[in-house]
Amino acid sequence: MNIINSVKQGDVPLVSVRAYAGDAMTLLAFDLDASLLPNFVGFSIAVKQGDRPPYYLLNRLSFSQAILDLNGIDAKEKLSTLYSPIQKFRWVHVPATQHFISAPFFGNYTYSITPRFLVNNLLKPLDPALTVSSTISVSPFKSGDIQVGFARGFISSEAYVDRFGNNIKLRPEKNTDLIFNTSVTSGEVNRWDSQSQSFVLTPYPFIEQYEYLGWQARDRVMEFLDEVLQDPTRRLDVFAYDFDEPLIADKLNELAIQNRLRVILDNTPDHTGKGCSENQFEALFAVPPKDKNAIFRGHFKSLAHSKIFIQRIGDKSVKVLTGSTNFSINGLCVNANHVLIFSNENVAAQYAKVFDASFGKDLMANFDQTDLAKTDFIVHEPQIPDMTIRFSPHPRVVADKFFKSISDRIDGAKSDVLFAIMNDRSKSDILAAVRRQVQSDNVFTYGIVDIAKDVSLYKPGSKRGIRVAGKGTETVLPPPFNQVPKIDGVSIHHKFIVVDFKGKESVVYCGSSNLAYNPEQSNGDNLIEIRDDDVVTVFAIEAIRLVDHFHWRNTKRTAAEAQIPLNLSDNTNPNKLWYASYYDSNDLHFLERTLLIREKLTA
């Protein structure tokens, strides 16, 4: 879903805003007629949540101290976009990341965007005649019988440091039991106290970190499990790869006590070492009244890599949760990840068939010879997106066929390619096609991988794509930014590629598959191809959100450069106007501005 509104002079849009609905977030795209560019210094963004009082979004950058002083802007006000406008032509807004509130507000948000102008170093007042307002629902993504949820991947971020300091301890100690009390204190940080009107050193528990970092992915996982726990007629089947999240383990243990759980749990070397959480969970099944035969430890030719919950009622499979998110602390709190839920009996039944065809050593060994591994599962049903699901491991001839189909689709993109992929250096026609698009200037290409030695940063005057890394990025940041913690483990764990989000035929490839050739022939995985504009838009926004967060931290700075404060541009240098690249038809910023504000292609 997206909405566009404009302020016009005759038939000419002077200011335009397009708002896109994501998963509990909004992508705001702006445009400004070139006649208004002189003295233009960015956009102020006011937000009104339902009937609550409006407020301005924050910008971590402000004008120089000299300009702040000249305009009488004090330290408390300077980060408001009322005084420090956004110097970009888009913004991703995620509720509750900048305000200490107990829970985010979901419902209608009205965004009011106003271009701002600086004349002789004086910030001109807001001009209501140029303000564009747009109202859109901001809520967890649900469309018909599909839900999508994302984990933040924000443990190394300014927002995390604001809330939790530099503490990245996510369990009491390394040898903690699998199931432990998450309400015990993890750390303490200075937080604003409204009663004393001052910052107070405040302790916080592990569960607060989990809820903040796990965001919508964690909420969907917990809701799914609670639904089973609260309905004694429901049973649960689980594929798990990396597993140590204490609350998930506690809920599954309760289902095991009630003999309403079966689990396939990976047993490759990383998950069988002394004291590992997977072994601890397996040991729980040895305690009566649990059925010790209700857990199977195994792997396919390589990994049992799926992350799946399947709800069953009697002989029917009614609902399935899948995606890239491991049921672990890393999966929900450190990694950027996604989950998808399908409340559809036919889809759930297909996943249940895969589970039943995998529950046993001989079954796993021969899975690639089953029709489940050789046949695309194509979905054309009401209330569910048009999609294709593929279950691996596949025979080579099957992998060859769909790898070519997907890589051809990426190479033939008409509008854009956006992605978040853990590892894009494996042998794969699919991943090679993404890298080709990054290096070309055929379409708008924008994405992130976990680790990359050959990042492709924004280059002024070029339409070449962007490919940045989530891990190994700078943590010593120039003022006014705080220093942020290093990422312990994988940062970008997503495996998704969006093609033609603004094109005629939108598609996203997602799920647990690493999109690599050999793993598709050896791992137990599911690769989902979804052809639905709203779902594709949600994933496109997620890719933009992650690149926004990590792109500037991919820039290497000397120790001296890291001490130079960053400020908003005041346009004093006519050869370095901050907005010029957005109006240069040979620049990626121009592609971005024109892509996000326009309608979808129809041909």
List the structure tokens of 185.
Answer: 């204190």
Options 2.60.40.10, 2.40.160.10, 1.10.10.10, 2.40.50.100; CATH for 2-138 is: 2.60.40.10
Q: Specify the pLDDT at position 102.
A: 59
Residue 159's contacts (CB-CB under 8 Å, 6 or more residues apart) are: 97, 98
Please tell me the distance from the alpha carbon of residue 400 to that of residue 395, in angstroms, as a whole number.
Answer: 9
Average confidence (pLDDT) over 279-296: 89
- Whether pLDDT at 23 is above 90: yes
Beta bridge partners of residue 339, listed in sequence order: 149, 323
Residues 6+ apart with CB under 8 A from 480: 60, 61, 62, 565, 566
| Residue 100 pLDDT class (50, 70, 90 cuts) | very low
pLDDT tens sequence across 363-380: 999 999 999 999 999 999
Q: Do domains 148-197+202-366 and 396-597 have the same CATH topology?
A: yes
Most confident of 278-282, 408-412, 425-429: 408-412
CATH 3.30.870.10 fits 148-197+202-366, yes or no: yes
Can you tell me the mean pLDDT for 310-316? 96
How do strand 386-392 and strand 146-150 relate by DSSP bridges?
unpaired
Helix (H) or strand (E) holding 200: strand 198-205
How does DSSP classify residue 369?
A: G
Backbone angles phi, psi at 355, to 5 degrees: -60, -50
For the chain, give the mean pLDDT.
93
Token pair 């009205």 is found at: 110
Q: Tell me, which fold does domain 396-597 have in CATH?
A: Endonuclease; Chain A (3.30.870)
Q: Which helix (H) or strand (E) holds 225?
A: helix 206-229
Amino acid 559 reads: A
The SS3 call for residue 453 is: coil
SS3 content of the chain, % helix, strand, coil (to 5): 30, 30, 45
Nearest residue to 263 (alpha-carbon basis) of 273, 272, 253, 271: 253
At 97, is the pLDDT very low, low, confident or very high (cuts 50, 70, 90)? low
Distance CA 54, CA 262 (A): 49
CA distance 19 to 17: 6
pTM of the model: 0.96
d(CA 337, CA 477): 25
Per-residue pLDDT averaged across 386-392, rounded?
98
Q: Which residues, in sequence order, are CB contacts of 165 under 8 Å at separation 6+?
A: 187, 188, 189
pLDDT of residue 487 exceeding 90, the answer is no
Q: What mean pLDDT comes out for the span 212-225? A: 96
Q: How far apart are CA 253 and CA 259, in angstroms?
A: 10
**Spatial CA neighbour of 460 closest among 598, 577, 550:** 577
Q: Which residues of 208-246 are buried (b: 16+ CB within 10 A; e: fewer)?
A: bbbbbbbbbbbbbbbebbeebeeeeebbbbbbbbbbbbb
d(Cα 586, Cα 594) in Å, to the nearest integer?
Answer: 12
Domain boundaries, the chain: 2-138, 148-197+202-366, 396-597
Least confident of 81-90, 261-270, 275-284, 591-600: 275-284
- Kindly report the backbone phi and psi dihedral angles of residue 353, in degrees, each rounded to the nearest multiple of 5, phi listed first: -60, -40
- pLDDT, tens only, 447-464: 999 988 888 989 999 999
Query: Cα–Cα distance between 293 and 286 in angstroms, integer?
Result: 9
